Structure 1
Amino acid sequence: MGSSVKAVVSRLSVALLGAAALSVATVPAVADDVAALYQDKCASCHGADRFGLMGPALLPQNLKRLRKNKAAKVIANGRAATQMPAFAEQLNEAQIQSLVDYVYTPLDEVPEWGMEQMLASRIVNHEPGTLSDEPVFEADLMNLFLVVEIGDHHVTLLNGDTFEPIHRFKTRFALHGGPKYSPDGRYVYITSRDGWISKFDIYNLKVVAEIRAGINSRNLAVSSDGRYAMVANYLPHNLVVLDTETMKPLKVIETIGKNDEGVEISSRVSAVYNAPPRESFIAALKDIKEVWEISYADEPSEDFAGWIHDYKNEKAANKPHEDFPTRKIPTRVFLDDFFFNQQYDLLFGASRDGEALVMSMDARREYTQLELSGMPHLGSGITWDYQGRPVMATPNIKKGLVSIVDMESFETIKMIETEGPGFFMRSHENSPYAWVDVFFGPNKDKVHIIDKSTLEIVKTLKPSPGKTAAHVEFTKDGKYALLSIWDMDGELIIYDAKTFEEIKRLPMVKPSGKYNVWNKTRYSSGTSH
């Protein structure tokens, strides 16, 4: 690592660790006052360094979902369903605002969070092999759902046949990136925005282990053999490989490259994906124009291994997979939203500037551009066969359009007008329909249903007027579709996926995503990967 990068990832300066360490000679009195106030009122729960303890990390990257005016209300009034107390009787309005400004101020340096810190954070509730291999409940284990309730930081395990809750458990603060299952569906790995990775044993309904793999994490991916999980981090700038059995870190991969001026920099990681046919993880970098592919195969191909270094000379004699060799694929633009074809040899990437392109993973170069003008949400893209040809469909975040792209010619064959920009799109191999929400704007309470054979909207639902309706997921057989009402007084609505008849409503606390074991472990073309 270059000296400049080492400086970037060094420990926080003492000036950021508390009022006692602040220099009066160089820091204004107001900074002393707010730092001391933070240490007195906040540090015991959120950490002297703002990294988080019992409470979440208080860093700008971790607070993006919370606007400053709402943060002030949380400090004043506390937060329901959490241990956050109210400070309105202890602090005046100016003090509360100073704390808000303080926690939304970025740190001067990227903090260190390496092997030592991760291992120290590790919590083991049940050692591997100590819990029963038989489920403590009766259900089709492949037709279970995990429903994330972001309103009070819980997850509900739902029976996908009876639509009855089996179990509800508390999670870490602000889950992000969607739960990921082990290949057999027994374990699920859940990521919090604060970097905590929780391993939950579905059979025994217990959290078996946790580790904090970062300070601000985006998501994780689980290898197809179930042995490894890779965590994508915003802070610090790296990827972390975990042993899924022990939940111990195996390797930290620092995401370092060069910018357009040739200067070495470190990059945030937007997301990481598992590519089953390739036996690799694929990472999207936020600040470097590259896509990284990291192999977890026991014997990576000569082509792959030779891309960065002489793998044969560097691999451990009996554990070659622990090297996790990496190859870097250059791109013209920053890509932070990905979609893959079912073979995982083509990567569809989108930038925040509106560009969309197709990358050949094998040739390691750009193949062509896509004509998508509405800022596609490719991470929610799905595929199906249309008139004998595979197509990709994606909602758009800036325009009320669903884009349909021919995956052989890469032409946009249709733009389906919707009543507003959407965020999530879902279907199922056994369903003739695709469902897309209208997540942004005044029509957020609507959901469109598209006929996959005609590419026309055939039904628009408005299940709870005035409340956001979003994120559909199908049952294992595709017969039913589950829809979330994103509200503190929310619901999970089950529909007959063929007739669109409402079957049942379950009250939930702002349910967001729901994840079917079968669809996710089988990488259904109707769901995001």
Structure 2
Amino acid sequence: MRSLLATLLAFSLAGSALAGDLRGTGDLGVVVERANGKLLVVEHTGDTRLSEIEGLGDLSHASVVFSRDERYAYVFGRDGGLTKVDLLKGRIVKRVMQSGNSIGGAISQDGKWVAVSNYKPGGVRIFDATTLEMVADIPAEYTPGKLSKTVGLVDAPGNRFVFSLYDGDQIWLVDMKDPHKPAITRFEHIGRAPYDALITPDGRYYIAGLFGEDSMALLDLWHPENGVRKILKGYAEHDEKLPVYKMPHLEGWAVAGSKAFVPAVGQHKVLVIDTADWTILDEIDVHGQPVFVMARPDGRQVWVNFAHPDNDTVQVIDAESQHIIKTLKPGKAVLHMEFTPRGEKLWLSVRDDNRVQVYDTATMTLLKELPAEKPSGIFFTDRAHRTGL
């Protein structure tokens, strides 16, 4: 009997030790430390830092996507580096220098392919998500001998990617049914200088912002045969033209119910749009030029941060009344915001004060601060299961 009890106790202790080494990935995320090429691995149940990963190159405009099991992060650096990171082990799995200058990326619906959007050379390159071996190279040649910067790269349903050509005034739709021979559909003359784009949460509409004109370009991915049409024409024609200190990020559009809350380029306004017909319903005057306009997952609140020189401020809009209900002053250079998956908390980076702040979204009060060196992007692993993120 004593021998049996000893054996059972040994198994119990071994099981406890093993359990202590295990954790899930559903509450993990990363914070980009842009000045030193590092990632912080964090968790948002207890709001703590877990590890720090070095050697990711130039992260001055870095973005991140996740594998479908949420274990691996794919980091797109400004220097053209594509890095696969193991969040559970806190280390780099593989890193490839795939271009001279890149601006973001996406992961396919099935999680097999990672696409990178490049400025230099212009185009998109697609990699095997497991090995980071390149499977397709798509130069963005919009006229013989001329390559365009590519922007607004997103994943779309049906294992497709969509991106825009900044210099070429085009949108390209890439079908990955045969990954070694992707089928490309080109939409030309969409409007002047598309600078960024988004896909709606349901994956139906791809919308490119146009820096060269007061309108946006919309592609219905259910009916791409209908081509691209202009929406929001002349949305800023009655406003004073202001210097644009930072282009807004359209990926941060807030879609709340049947409304979209959209940053107006160069204006101190958030536009409210009816997503049924893509017309403007209202304009909300805000503190500065919006950069990110983000909806809490339940759609009730919209949080807004701003470009320099107003980037010490965040405002909260009630989506129902469309009134500003809170103005916060987190600190110098608020660069990025990220909601926890169900929206009870919001994390934001305060670059010039070297910290990350965590807010209770119900009370809009500060819960916690974490040290971080020049933090910028914050990305949580639930993005793995959301189209376009």
- TM normalised by structure 2 equals 0.86
The superposition leaves residues 26-76 of structure 1 with CA deviations (integer Å, 9 ceiling, x where unpaired) of xxxxxxxxxxxxxxxxxxxxxxxxxxxxxxxxxxxxxxxxxxxxxxxxxxx
Q: Separation in 2 of the partners of 1:271 and 1:171?
A: 26
The counterpart of 1:329, out of the listed 158, 177, 187, is 187
Choose from 118, 127, 131 the match for 1:233: 118
Q: Specify the SS of the correspondent of 1:379.
A: helix
Quick one: which amino acid aligns to residue 135 of structure 2? L
Paired residue for 1:486? Answer: 351
| Structure 1 contact 274–280 (Cα < 8 Å) conserved | yes
Spell out the pairing of 1:286-435 with structure 2 (5 A cutoff): 286-297=166-177, 320-333=178-191, 334-357=193-216, 358-361=218-221, 362-371=224-233, 372-373=235-236, 377-385=249-257, 390-430=258-298, 432-435=300-303
Question: Residue 312 of structure 2: which of 416, 439, 445 is its match?
Answer: 445
Instruction: List per-residue Cα deviations over 1:293-343 (Å, max 9, x = no partner).
Output: 11113xxxxxxxxxxxxxxxxxxxxxx432111111123323231122233
User: Offset at 1:356?
Assistant: 2.3
The alpha-carbon deviation at position 257 of structure 1 amounts to 2.3
SS of structure 2 residue aligned to 1:444: coil
Kindly state the Cα deviation for residue 283 of structure 1 after the two structures are TM-superposed: 1.4
Opposite residue 318 of structure 2, the aligned amino acid is: D
Deviations 1:208-261 (A, max 9, x none): 111111011111211121111111111112221111111111121122123xxx
- The superposition leaves residues 467-520 of structure 1 with CA deviations (integer Å, 9 ceiling, x where unpaired) of 122322111221111111111x421111111001211111211111101111x1
CA distance, structure 2, for counterparts of residue 268 and residue 137 of structure 1 = 45
The one-letter amino acid of 1:147's match is V
**Structure 2 letter corresponding to 1:246:** T
Tell me the CA shift for residue 398 of structure 1: 0.9
Q: Aligned pairs, how many?
A: 357
Bigger proportion of residues as helix: 1
Amino acid at match of 1:367: R
Task: State the shift of 1:450 in Å.
Answer: 0.5
* Partner-residue secondary structure (3-state), 1:414: strand
Compared with structure 1, are the counterparts of its residues 184 and 230 closer, same or farther at alpha carbon in structure 2 (3 Å cutoff)?
same
Equivalent pairs: percent with the same residue?
Answer: 23
Amino acid at match of 1:426: M
Residue 135 of structure 1, CA deviation: 9.9
The answer to whether the 8 A contact 1:425-1:472 is kept is: no
Unaligned runs of 5+ in 1: 1-133, 298-319
For the residue of structure 1 that corresponds to 2:187, the secondary structure is strand
Please identify which structure carries the higher strand content.
2
Residue 457 of structure 1 pairs with residue 342 of structure 2: no
User: Structure 1's 512 and 479: CA in aligned 2 closer, same or farther, altered over 3 A?
Assistant: same
Residues 461 and 160 (structure 1 numbering): CA distance in 2 closer, same or farther, change over 3 Å? Answer: same
Kindly provide the CA deviation profile for residues 394-441 of structure 1, in whole angstroms up to 9, marking residues without a partner as x.
223411111111111211111111111021122232362111012222
Measure, in 1, the Cα distance between the counterparts of 2:19 and 2:85.
13
Q: Does residue 1:205 correspond to 2:65, yes or no?
A: no
What's the offset of the Cα at 1:353? 1.6
Q: Deviations over 1:256-285 (max 9, x none)?
A: 123xxxx6532221242111x232011111
Tell me what 1:257 maps to.
Answer: 142
- Structure 2: stretches of 5+ with no match in the other structure: 1-17, 240-246
| Partner amino acid, structure 2, of 1:248 | E
Instruction: Identify the residue that residue 33 of structure 1 maps to in structure 2.
Output: none
Q: 1:270 aligned to 2:151?
A: yes
Corresponding residue SS for 1:424:
strand
Equivalent of residue 476 in structure 1, options 332, 338, 341: 341
Q: How has the CA–CA distance of structure 1 residues 237 and 469 changed in structure 2, closer, same or farther, with 3 Å as cutoff?
A: closer
Amino acid at match of 2:345: Y
- Paired letter, 1:505: E
| TM-aligned CA deviation for residue 140 of structure 1 | 4.4
Asked if structure 1 preserves the Cα contact closer than 8 Å seen for 2:31 and 2:377, the reply is yes
Find the counterpart in structure 1 of residue 361 from structure 2.
497
Displacement of 1:349 after TM fit? 1.6
CA distance in 2, matches of 1:377, 1:289: 18
C-alpha separation between the residues in 2 aligned to 1:413 and 1:183? 37
Q: Describe the shift of the 1:491–1:137 C-alpha distance in structure 2 as closer, same or farther (beyond 3 A).
A: farther
Residue 373 of structure 2 aligns with an amino acid whose one-letter code is V
The residue number in structure 1 matching 2:164 is 284
Alpha-carbon separation, structure 2, partners of 1:142 and 1:431:
21
Query: Is it true that 1:511 corresponds to 2:375 in the alignment?
Result: yes
Q: Which amino acid aligns with 1:322?
A: H
- Whether the aligned pair in 2 keeps the contact of 1:283 and 1:292 (CA below 8 Å) is yes
Alignment partners' CA distance in 2, 1:236 and 1:209: 22
Contact (CA 8 Å) 2:262, 2:293: kept in 1 or not? yes
When normalised by structure 1's length, the TM-score is 0.64
Instruction: Decide which structure has the larger Cα Rg and report it.
Output: 1
Structure 1 stretches of at least 4 aligned residues deviating more than 3 Å after TM superposition: 134-140, 374-377
Higher relative contact order structure (alpha carbons within 8 Å, sequence separation ≥ 6): 2
